[in-house]
Amino acid sequence: MPGKTDHPLERLVFFSDAVFAIAITLLVIEIHPPHLDADGMQPTLEALARLIPNFIGFLVSFAVIGAFWAGHHRAFSLAGRIGPGILVWNLLLLGAIAFMPFVTGFMSSNYGKVGPAACYWSWLLLTALLNLKVNRMATGPAMRAAGVTEAEAAAVPRRSVAVFLAAAAALIISLFAPMFAPFGMATIPLWMLLLKPRAGTPAPAA
């Protein structure tokens, strides 16, 4: 691979990793330590119990951002050079990731309400769409490193499609039963199975 393109690709990856790390760390800021009016185990447990929606929001978003980072890592581990347009699309993805702490806090502060839940899962769906676009570009012919096979390249965006479909399922669930929406993300393995190329069928180009 041309040496002059190694440095720009490394800078893009390092910058992206930093944004993912900051966003995932900022999630905990939305959990405000409670002030106790009285001492003792019962007041302590009651105060912590009131924070359960915030803990749930933290865990869900931590897992979601972590999954997006893992997919981003897999995609760019197959890239060998910067491709046209990737900087803009990658910045859009990072902007969506950076906004996750806000929508997480909004949903957690209004736990069980349709509007905030739909806002959260709609944003996640948009993020999943941007993630799919970036991963397709990173594993496409314009950026793919030498020696990477079509099958290896196709596996990354296929998982991104599964994440997008799972986010869509979570959004639909949130419109009827907001508290159960996170279970939509548990459908990722199902979508992966459905999207898996059948024996004898060539994998589509990324």
Going by pLDDT thresholds of 50, 70 and 90, the confidence category of residue 206 is very low
The answer as to whether 202 is a domain residue is: no
CA distance 118 to 132: 21
- Please check whether residue 23 lies inside any domain of the structure: yes
Is the pLDDT at 82 greater than 60? The verdict is: yes
**Residue 203 forms part of a structural domain:** no
Q: Are 119 and 104 in contact (CB under 8 A)?
A: no
Number of structural domains the chain divides into: 1
Q: 42 CB contacts (<8 Å, ≥6 apart)?
A: none
- Domain of residue 130 covers 3-195
C-alpha closest to that of 89 among 154, 133, 126, 128: 133
What's the predicted TM-score (pTM) here?
0.86
- On whether residue 45 sits in a domain, the answer given is yes
In a domain, 81, yes or no: yes
The predicted pLDDT at position 6 comes to 60
Residue 3 pLDDT? 41
Distance, in Å, from the CA atom of 49 to the CA atom of 32, rounded to the nearest integer, reads 13
200 falls within a domain: no
Instruction: Please determine, for residue 4, whether its predicted confidence score (pLDDT) is greater than 80.
Output: no
- Alpha-carbon torsion angle 121, 127, 128, 133, nearest 10: 160
